[in-house]
């Protein structure tokens, strides 16, 4: 048989198996296993294509079982220096004498394999994935054989996972600060690793620093609790015994103090912020934990703690195990923004225990987490109205993201194509909100009581593992297969449309009880705007929003933002004055108001916007504010970015730079 004939048969067979997998007839493991088996029987090259297109590692030959990092945190040089040790296991039989790891801008000094010096090389850099590190072994290990490697290294100034703050950039101006953000593919810029969510390993952290250290593991009891008196380095040790993907590797070091916020929870932050952070979080944290456990099963990570970071942190929160890394914008003095903690806590099950196999299926992490977060809100508040209230806010965020990308854009799909692309470029509210709406749709289709039976089954089935969207489909259909009534309802799902159609999903009929008052006020403003000089019985007053929650104000502002009629400048200015929106401590409120004012061409709002852009690094606020400022005053936007770019985290800095460049081209 000719080689071309063999290739044709192989291609047809793998296509057939992939189609069956997408239809839910085969699991990913079954499809891959049959592909490999068939190919071997054809006496040709093994089909060994990994599920994750955003890694350069050969993780289908090797799997990391355990990683130990021994690193010095060198503030004066703004780098980490030390060693990383990986214990890997061969998952093929005598096929590979080469271990390939992801690496990006890491300076490697030496590598040991099985206790002796190993030959190694770094491949030519492939953007945005870095330089593959190839480690040569002197043999081809057999199936399940274990290999230990040790890499001596240091990070460089091009590291995209770390942000270093000078004392002047911190709140009390006394000590420097460092923190990491490894999601999505930035762990490889700290140390070479299999930087894919399809691989999970246990971790040891051995970190030396003159300042307190926090990591995504349980800390040793003897860890120091305060800065060293003479600036010498102290040893901090942490252990993570639940296997995690590399993107959940997290460390932070600075002038950090801690306080209890519950029987199994601590908040950590700067000494000057500790009192406010404790008050903000102590009322809800344990309630959220118990609600989450009632939906799924007992919390698996021992402690649930929160590190409130300096303001340049680019996200609302990052679900690093044991210690959620959180933005200080949740500390608003009114406990109105702590739902971020409900979200990050939900990741303890969705994302951390059960992970998306690649960033193409990111909705499995974020859609599930948003669903759990809103169910937790319903339990804590005692009403499903709160879930729909949050979902309505989320729908507006979804609308904004789809509008920004364009309704036909690849990144508006639930399952996206990231081959050759940077997962950071696809980051938006879409996997959160479109994913939530898919799960919400399924729940409404079969009934909440039935769906609640599936929730713990799903998380137990995939506990400690990674999956893709086709695995989710198979798990759902198989679970309800014995129940003909539910199976018949699930047969109504148009999977291809949900997975692959760009743009909006069908909009649910949300309960608007908690938003109707906000909608009515927005309608009054719209009428006022359409006929500003005509007769009207509407006279804006601070009493309009008296007794409202901050989130109701958010809904009101978003409704105004969504109006086809732009608010005139004098009306926008009046709204800010009457409702005291310009300098509220709640950034969720003020940032939205600033967008309304900029759209009205209110030049006076620029100073407020510029001030916020120098104080807040959370991309949720930074990117929309820059987009608004670009339209109002492009030169001022560039000037503001140049002034603050070193304040922003590298991920945020890169995204805003792209926004500025794109706006200039337009």
319 has binding-site annotation: yes
User: Are residues 522 and 484 part of one domain?
Assistant: no
Instruction: Measure the N-to-C terminal CA separation of the chain; round to a whole number of Å.
Output: 56
Kindly state whether residue 540 falls inside one of the protein's structural domains.
yes
Rounded to whole angstroms, the Cα distance separating 518 from 327 reads: 27
What pLDDT is recorded for position 530? Answer: 76
Number of domains in the chain: 2
User: Are residues 519 and 391 part of one domain?
Assistant: no
Q: Report long-range pairs for 515-520 (Cβ below 8 Å, ≥24 apart).
A: 515/389, 515/392, 515/552, 515/555, 517/548, 517/552, 518/548, 518/552, 518/553, 518/555, 518/556, 518/559, 519/555, 519/556, 519/559
| Catalytic residue of the set 432, 579, 594, 648 | 432
Give yes or no: 95 in active site. Answer: no
What pLDDT is recorded for position 532? Answer: 61
95 has binding-site annotation: no
Kindly state whether residue 364 falls inside one of the protein's structural domains.
yes
DSSP E strand stretches across 75-176: 79-90, 98-101, 107-113, 116-117, 119-122, 133-136, 146-154, 162-165
316 has binding-site annotation: yes
Which residue among 470, 500, 530 closes a domain? 500
177 has binding-site annotation: no
Residues of the chain with pLDDT under 70: 1-49, 532-536, 664-666
What pLDDT is recorded for position 39? Answer: 37
51 has binding-site annotation: no
Helix (H) or strand (E) holding 549: none
What pLDDT is recorded for position 171? Answer: 76
* Contacts of 338 by beta carbon, 8 Å cutoff, 6+ apart: 280, 281, 284, 330
Kindly state whether residue 421 falls inside one of the protein's structural domains.
yes
317 has binding-site annotation: yes
User: Are residues 538 and 474 part of one domain?
Assistant: no
Domain CATH code at residue 538 = 1.25.40.320
Kindly state whether residue 569 falls inside one of the protein's structural domains.
yes
pLDDT digits (tens, 9 = 90+) for 579-619: 999 989 999 999 999 999 999 999 999 999 999 999 999 99
What pLDDT is recorded for position 19? Answer: 45
318 has binding-site annotation: yes
| Catalytic residue of the set 273, 280, 336, 344 | 344
Kindly state whether residue 159 falls inside one of the protein's structural domains.
no
598 has binding-site annotation: no
Question: 34 near 18, Cβ under 8 Å?
Answer: no
Kindly state whether residue 334 falls inside one of the protein's structural domains.
no
618 has binding-site annotation: yes
Kindly state whether residue 43 falls inside one of the protein's structural domains.
no
Give yes or no: 460 in active site. Answer: no
The pTM of the whole model exceeds 0.85: yes
Burial class (CB in 10 A: 0-12, 13-18, 19+), 495: middle
What pLDDT is recorded for position 40? Answer: 38
Kindly state whether residue 249 falls inside one of the protein's structural domains.
no
What pLDDT is recorded for position 49? Answer: 65
User: Are residues 606 and 655 part of one domain?
Assistant: yes
Omega within 30 of 0 (cis) for the link into 184: yes
224 has binding-site annotation: no
457 has binding-site annotation: no
User: Are residues 578 and 550 part of one domain?
Assistant: yes
Domain that holds residue 576: 513-661
């Amino acid at each position: 048989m000719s080689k071309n004939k063999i290739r044709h048969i192989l291609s047809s067979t793998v296509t057939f198996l992939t189609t069956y997998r997408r239809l839910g007839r085969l699991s990913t493991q079954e499809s891959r296993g049959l592909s490999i088996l068939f190919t071997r029987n054809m006496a040709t090259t093994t089909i060994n294509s990994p599920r994750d297109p955003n890694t350069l590692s050969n993780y289908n030959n090797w799997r990391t079982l355990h990683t130990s990092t021994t690193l010095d945190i060198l503030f004066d040089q703004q780098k980490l220096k030390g060693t990383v040790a990986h214990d890997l296991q061969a998952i093929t039989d005598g096929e590979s004498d080469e271990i390939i790891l992801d690496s990006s801008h890491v300076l490697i000094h030496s590598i040991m394999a099985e206790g002796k010096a190993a030959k190694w090389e770094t491949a030519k850099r492939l953007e945005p994935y870095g330089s593959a590190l190839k480690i040569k072994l002197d043999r081809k290990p057999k199936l399940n054989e274990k290999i230990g490697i040790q890499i001596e290294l240091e990070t460089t100034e091009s590291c995209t996972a770390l942000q270093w703050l000078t004392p002047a950039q911190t709140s009390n101006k006394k000590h420097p600060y460092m923190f990491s953000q490894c999601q999505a593919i930035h762990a490889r810029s700290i140390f070479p690793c299999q930087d894919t969510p399809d691989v999970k390993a246990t971790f040891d952290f051995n970190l030396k620093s003159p300042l307190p250290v926090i990591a995504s593991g349980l800390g040793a009891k003897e860890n120091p609790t305060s800065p060293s008196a003479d600036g010498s380095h102290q040893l901090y040790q942490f252990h993570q015994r639940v296997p995690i993907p590399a993107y959940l590797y997290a460390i932070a070091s600075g002038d950090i103090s801690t306080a209890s916020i519950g029987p199994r929870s601590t908040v950590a932050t700067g000494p000057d912020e500790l009192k406010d952070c404790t008050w903000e979080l102590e009322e809800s944290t344990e309630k959220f934990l118990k609600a989450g456990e009632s939906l799924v099963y007992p919390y698996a990570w021992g402690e649930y703690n929160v590190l409130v970071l300096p303001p340049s942190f680019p996200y609302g929160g990052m679900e690093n195990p044991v210690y959620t890394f959180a933005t200080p914008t949740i500390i608003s003095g009114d406990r109105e923004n702590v739902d971020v903690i409900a979200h990050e806590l939900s990741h303890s099950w969705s994302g951390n225990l059960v992970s998306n196999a690649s960033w193409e299926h990111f909705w499995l992490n974020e859609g599930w987490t948003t669903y759990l977060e809103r169910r937790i809100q319903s339990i804590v508040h005692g009403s499903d109205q709160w879930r729909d209230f949050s979902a309505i806010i989320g729908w507006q965020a979804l609308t904004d993201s789809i509008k920004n990308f364009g309704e036909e854009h690849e990144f508006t799909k639930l399952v996206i194509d990231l081959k050759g692309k940077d997962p950071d470029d696809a980051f938006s509210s879409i996997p959160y909100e479109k994913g939530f709406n898919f799960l919400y749709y399924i729940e409404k289709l079969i009934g909440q009581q039935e769906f609640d039976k599936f929730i713990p089954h799903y998380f137990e089935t995939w506990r400690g593992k990674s999956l893709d969207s086709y695995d989710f489909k198979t798990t759902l259909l198989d679970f309800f297969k014995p129940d003909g009534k539910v199976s018949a309802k699930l047969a109504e799902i148009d999977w291809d449309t949900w997975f692959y159609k760009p743009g909006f999903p069908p909009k649910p009929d949300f309960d608007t009880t908690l938003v109707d008052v906000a909608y009515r006020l927005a309608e009054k403003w719209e009428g006022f705007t359409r006929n500003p000089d005509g007769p009207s019985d509407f006279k804006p007053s601070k009493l309009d929003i008296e007794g409202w929650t901050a989130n109701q104000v958010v809904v009101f502002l978003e409704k105004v933002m969504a109006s086809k009629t732009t608010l005139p400048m004098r009306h926008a200015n009046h709204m800010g004055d009457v409702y005291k929106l310009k300098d509220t401590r709640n950034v969720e409120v003020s940032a939205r108001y600033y967008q309304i004012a900029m759209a009205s061409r209110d030049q006076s709002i620029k100073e407020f916007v510029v001030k916020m852009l120098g104080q807040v690094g959370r991309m949720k606020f930074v990117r929309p504010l820059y987009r608004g400022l670009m339209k109002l005053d492009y030169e001022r936007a560039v000037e503001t970015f140049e002034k603050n770019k070193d304040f922003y985290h590298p991920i945020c800095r890169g995204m805003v730079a792209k926004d500025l460049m794109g706006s200039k081209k337009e």
